[in-house]
Amino acid sequence: MTESTERWGLFELVLQGPADGNPYKDYEISATFSKGDRSLRVRGFYDGNGTYRVRFMPDEEGEWRYETFSNAAELNGVSGNFTCTPPRPGNHGPVRVRGSRHFAYEDGTPYLPFGTTCYAWIHMNRDLQEQTLNTLAQAPFNKLRMCVFPKNYSFNKEEPDLFPFVRKADGTFDLEVFDPHFFAKLEQRILDLQRLGIEADLILFHPYDKGKWGFDEMDAATDDYYLRYIIARLASYRNVWWSMANEYDFMKAKTMDDWDRVFRVVQEEDPYGHLRSIHNGTRMYDHRRVFLYDYGKPWVTHVSVQHWDVTLTSIWLEEYGKPVIVDECCYEGNLPQRWGNITAEEMTRRFWDTVTRGGYCTHGETYTHPNDEIWWAKGGRLYGQSPERIAFLRSILEAAPADYDLMPEIYDVPTIGVRGVYYLMYFGLLRPAYRDIELPEGRFRVEIIDTWNMTIEEMAGVHEGTIRIRLPGTTNIAVRITRIEDQ
């Protein structure tokens, strides 16, 4: 019977081969997958105990054929076929960039990234990991920023049970031998997120090692070896994004040329073209600016930026011509660090401000905990007040026209919309008593939104021409204006 895999699912070919020497380096396996006159070459990988795997994410329904290529005789020339069936409900394919502002799943369904951050959650104990998943199941987030390598950083000093590389008896790591047990755990968690409809924004490198393990100072050859392996294992999961690094400019062992090379390796090795970006630190350079990677480079798909001033969002959109996600705008919490103690109200405000400037924002939470179980680092539970307000914003944005854009003509208030059809204005810290609006031709509904109290009050009547919108004179107010279609 012919095997079958749903569209954008995972087809896996499992073969037995040589286990002598170092199979991770000594033996290579790949396969060509073909349908009609289309073919894709996919790298396979060694998974321990003489097992080799080749994974493939089909993007077209119908019959696919495959043939393997290897320098090991028993792995070479294996051929077969499988059927790609229609995707099951909830499977919309990988996320792609749509235009210069937005994202959509491959089937065209709009995707609005409402992310959160749990850097080292997969390195925690199993109970805490499960608690994290249970929390995410009730939260509004559909993207999770997470590290592959463990962290040695404030409130996160635990020694993980597993690492990407095998640990030797003397405590050092064999950087030529991967640990398949670690990757099996990582893959399971990516699948758990996939079932929840959450994109796994995987951070491939970071500076939070501080000499403990040495993963932040691997040489270029080892970096590339690691990248080829992790992409061979994970690229076939449709909900994977690649973040080259978190706070890349704090990794002093790497140059800008290194980061360009990392991007190119990821781009060349990933046959599916998953989203790719890199995340900056916020140390001030020359006492005047944060040093950003050049997101205009062709291998970058979108802007992933850290900055406390989200009013810069529209500037980045203009400069790079790509979607902007402020992946760190500080965290709701009460830690002593400057980045970890904004209020829930301020986190909510930064989300609204970013969205109405044409971008997207990512949440994080950093409340002190007796066991240092802080969401931003380890996952667990959420204690803050911003997630439900973020859910409220998400519901409003999901109800907006999919092709909304910036409305620069409304220069004094951040506004998105579709001219003549829809407008969403956010006053934020401003608190006017009223706003005069000259409506375009047509009839409109006007609603006043309290973004903190999560209320929507419709202004009585149907509105045309020049109108005065009376506002409550408090902060955190938005106005939504929607054209009423002629009956």
**How many whole angstroms from its chain centre is CA 349?**
21
Q: Which residues, 6 or more positions from 147, have their beta carbon under 8 angstroms from its beta carbon? A: 119, 120, 123, 202, 203, 206, 246
Q: What is the dihedral of CA 451, 452, 454, 459, to 10 degrees?
A: -50
pLDDT at 290: 77
Mind spelling out the 3-state secondary structure of 293-344?
A: CCCCCCCCCCEEEECCCHHHHHHHHHHHCCCEEEEECCCEECCCCCCCCECH
Helix%, strand%, coil% for the chain, nearest 5:
25, 30, 45
| pLDDT attached to residue 291 | 82
* Among candidate residues 65, 67, 68, the one with its CA nearest the CA of residue 82: 65
C-beta neighbour count of 13 within 10 angstroms: 20
Give, as one character, the DSSP assignment of residue 127.
H
Please report the domains of the chain, with CATH numbers, ordered by start residue: 3-85 (2.60.40.10), 95-398 (3.20.20.80), 405-483 (2.60.40.3950)
Please list, residue by residue across 163-178, b when 16 or more beta carbons sit within 10 angstroms of its beta carbon and e when fewer do.
bbbbeeeeeebebebb
Provide the pLDDT for residue 487: 47
Tally of CB atoms within 10 A around 338: 10
What number of other Cβ atoms are within 10 A of residue 121's Cβ? Answer: 23
396: Cα within 13 Å, side-chain hemisphere: 30
Low-confidence ranges of the chain (pLDDT < 70): 1-2, 284-289, 486-487
Predicted pLDDT of residue 448: 98
DSSP state of 78: -
pTM of the model: 0.96
Q: CA–CA separation, 153 vs 427, rounded Å?
A: 37
The tokens describing 339, both together, are 């980045």
pLDDT of residue 43: 98
Residue 373 structure tokens: 């179980």
- pLDDT computed for residue 288 by the predictor: 52
The pLDDT, as a whole number, for residue 237 is 98
